[in-house]
Chains A and B, each alone.
Chain A
């Protein structure tokens, strides 16, 4: 069974940094694209970042490019999201989602990031 477990969400001040982690199990992690998708309170889903199976190529939403970095550790079956210069509008539940054939086929339970002073 595919499992994705996010962690690292916290309350952080504007301008601060945070690193999210997603631990994967139940599938061959190194074969899959991985994504971060976020959902602000009461709002719709927003794709944030994507990383290729080999970790060489990464892609970002315009709203986070230059501030967020997605990375992965295939031997440890984990994907990360390093977030810098956080803003109030980054407040959201951040989901890790597996990518396969142009689709988000499995989702984690999410981790809450709150940016507030």
Chain B
């Protein structure tokens, strides 16, 4: 199975400041159809996960534009341009290019 790693695993942030989370895969996530199926999910405390970004960089409807995804191959990044209080929680990357789907260990974001 593909192995997904994230760093950092814990990220204390200051409101209004930027934040960045890295996700790496053990093999390229480029599918034979040319797409890269790497998503980012956000899970607030006590809630279910919510998809923020799919196919590396496509923001879901209703997701603020302060969230952006980038990367290719095996290295991916989620950036928050200016952290707001509602952004706390755990962020997961997940790959669905190769079967079975595999989630990263999660990065816990909280406010300093």
A-side residues, CB < 8 A to B, are 35, 44-47, 59, 61, 95, 101-110
B-side residues, CB < 8 A to A, are 31, 35, 37, 39, 41, 47-51, 54-55, 60, 92, 94, 96-97, 99-106
The interface residues of chain A lying within 8 Å CB-to-CB of B105 are: 44
The interface residues of chain B lying within 8 Å CB-to-CB of A95 are: 48-49
Which of chain A's residues has its CB closest to B4's CB?
A44
State whether A108 and B48 are in contact (beta carbons under 8 Å apart), knowing that A102-B31, A103-B37, A103-B96 are contacts in the complex.
yes
Which of A101, A104, A108 is the one whose CB lies under 8 Å from B94? A104
Q: Supply 7 A–B pairs (Cβ within 8 Å), ascending by A.
A: A35-B101, A44-B104, A45-B49, A45-B94, A104-B41, A109-B47, A110-B48
The interface residues of chain A lying within 8 Å CB-to-CB of B102 are: 47
Q: Given the complex of chains A and B, what is the CA–CA distance between A59 and B101 in angstroms?
A: 11
Which of A44, A47, A61, A105 is the one whose CB lies under 8 Å from B51? A105
Q: Given the complex of chains A and B, what is the CA–CA distance between A47 and B92 in angstroms?
A: 13
Chain A nearest Cβ from B67, distance in angstroms: 16
State whether A105 and B54 are in contact (beta carbons under 8 Å apart), knowing that A45-B49, A95-B49 are contacts in the complex.
yes
**10 A-B pairs with least C-beta separation:** A102-B37, A102-B96, A45-B103, A47-B101, A107-B48, A103-B54, A44-B105, A109-B48, A44-B106, A107-B49
Known: A45-B41, A59-B99. 12 other contacts (CB 8 A): A35-B101, A44-B103, A44-B104, A46-B103, A47-B100, A102-B31, A102-B96, A103-B37, A104-B39, A105-B51, A107-B51, A109-B47
Q: Given the complex of chains A and B, what is the CA–CA distance between A103 and B38 in angstroms?
A: 8
Q: Given the complex of chains A and B, what is the CA–CA distance between A104 and B42 in angstroms?
A: 12
The interface residues of chain B lying within 8 Å CB-to-CB of A105 are: 51, 54, 60
